[in-house]
Amino acid sequence: MSSFIIFLEKLAKHFNIEFDYDKMNGEDEYQLAANILNEINIYFYQKKTTLPPPYISEFHKYWEENHEKVLNPKINPNDECLKVAKILENIYSKSTIKVQLDTLDLTKEEIANVRFFTAIQDFNVDIHARSNPFEFFKRHPDCFNPQKVYENDLLIDELLNFLNADSQRDKRKPWMQNSAKLLIDKYNSSAYNINEIHDGNVIEIVQALTAEEKYGFSTKKAHMFLRDMADLGVWNYKSNIDKLDVMSDKNTMRVALRTGIMQFRIPLLASYLDVYCFQYTMVDRLNREAWRKVWEEWGKIPNNHRPPTPASIDYLIYRLGKTACRQNKRYCQPWKPFDKKKLESLIPQDRFIFNENRFCIFNEVCQLERKLLNAPNSISIEGKTGWKKGRTNKGGGGGISS
């Protein structure tokens, strides 16, 4: 029996219908497959003239309107957030964990400018794992001088080459120029002045950085930048510091799914079905909410050592998701006999991720059925492979190109 017939049998069971291909009087399997695949293709990927302009198929409209009802998300359904908070309290009661970046002997103003321009570029590329932009500043300070960056785009190319930030350069270069102009016009040509001009108000700073897409700061990047400025001792905030969230990415999402602080009716759909990113956008939002709930539950623990903002736990959660919660790195099971030298070779954050029995710190809350859950992927809306380019009609064909 072919996999397609087995697939149809499984679908029939959800309708309480008995589907027995052997009793279909020898109907041509391939004609049956052609008819069914055609209907699937029409529903998922073909635009009818009756659909409003934004939509490219009936499924597109349905998925936008009903994705949350279908997936049925829940945050902290069984007090998982408190369980995670207690584990974090045990760790933070013993040590202060902050962003670890080698800023060398740069001044606060120099650190602010370096992190300002690199934060813009920090997506789909693990910049700090491959290079130290503060070291690069020592040799090429002009690449972080707002006035010179605005006037000479070759400096932008020089920085992007160093960061290995080759993808989407058509977006990255304008971001650098426009954000440099922002510093020139509003902050006396220095990122360091941002905090003072906004009187240390976190909400105001985030709003200013994200006011226009051309500056390159998404809310996530802005929160990351502000967290780093606090952790590196560059800025002291006066108000709304608690509004900074854990940065939502595949690593923090993965930990949220496996610890159970964020749960869904079914495992998340692949990006092929969530091509319009409604699921991804929802998970991105809920992930931030879930980690904020952990932070709130943490505050209820007597004599706690909770940091002043959810964003402050991002670095540990990110390291955990990157180091332990990845395929072929299942450290939720015991390792080989304890090797103290190997543990000592880890950076401080990673030493907290694994205890002396070689378990991930969240092993006790990651139930077996959740240990394989994965974060969602996102498909670009715009661009050469974006789904907006995938429109087609009853003539067939079409779709996203490589």
Nearest to 95 by CA among 373, 276, 290, 352: 352
The residue to which tokens 């922002």 are assigned: 182
Contact residues for 382 (Cβ-Cβ < 8 A; gap 6+) = 388
Q: How far from 389 is each of 61, 105, 269, 383, CA to CA, in Å? A: 17, 48, 22, 8
Contact residues for 260 (Cβ-Cβ < 8 A; gap 6+) = 77, 78, 80, 365, 366, 367, 370
Nearest-angstrom CA–CA distance, 346 and 342:
7
Nearest to 279 by CA among 289, 294, 264, 291: 264
**pTM of the predicted structure, to 2 decimals:** 0.86
3-state SS, one letter per residue, for the chain:
CCHHHHHHHHHHHHCCCCCCHHHCCCCCHHHHHHHHHHHHHHHHHCCCCCCCCCCCCHHHHHHHHHHHHHHCCEECCCCHHHHHHHHHHHHHCCCCCCCCCCCCCCCHHHHHHHHHHHHHHCCCCCHHHHCCHHHHHHHCHHHHCHHHHHHCHHHHHHHHHHHCCCCCHHHHHHHHHHHHHHHHHHCCCCCCHHHHHCCCEHHHHHHHHCCCHHHCCCHHHHHHHHHHHHHCCCCCCCECHHHCCCCCCHHHHHHHHHHCCEECCCCCCCCCCCCCCHHHHHHHHHHHHHHHHHHHHHCCCCCCCCCCCHHHHHHHHHHHHHHCEECCEECCCCCCCCCHHHHHHCCHHHHHHECCCCCECCCCCCCHHHCCCCCCCCCCCCCCCCHHHHCCCCCCCCCCCC
Q: How far from 164 is each of 18, 79, 118, CA to CA, in Å? A: 56, 42, 12
**Predicted confidence pLDDT, tens digits, the chain (402 residues):** 889 999 999 999 999 998 887 777 667 889 999 999 999 999 999 988 899 988 989 999 999 999 999 999 999 999 999 999 999 999 999 888 888 888 999 999 999 999 999 999 875 444 444 578 999 999 999 999 999 999 999 999 999 999 888 778 888 999 999 999 999 999 999 999 999 999 999 999 999 999 999 999 999 999 999 999 999 999 999 999 999 999 999 999 999 999 999 999 999 999 989 988 999 999 999 999 999 999 999 999 999 999 999 999 998 998 888 877 765 554 555 444 435 555 555 555 565 555 544 567 888 898 888 988 999 998 876 666 676 666 677 676 777 765
- Cα angle 301-302-304, degrees, rounded to a multiple of 5: 70
- Tens of pLDDT, residues 13-60: 999 998 887 777 667 889 999 999 999 999 999 988 899 988 989 999
Contact residues for 239 (Cβ-Cβ < 8 A; gap 6+) = 199, 200, 201, 202, 203
Determine the pLDDT at residue 89: 96
Burial (Cβ within 10 Å: 0-12, 13-18, ≥19) of residue 14: exposed
Q: How far from 44 is each of 12, 155, 278, CA to CA, in Å? A: 20, 45, 15
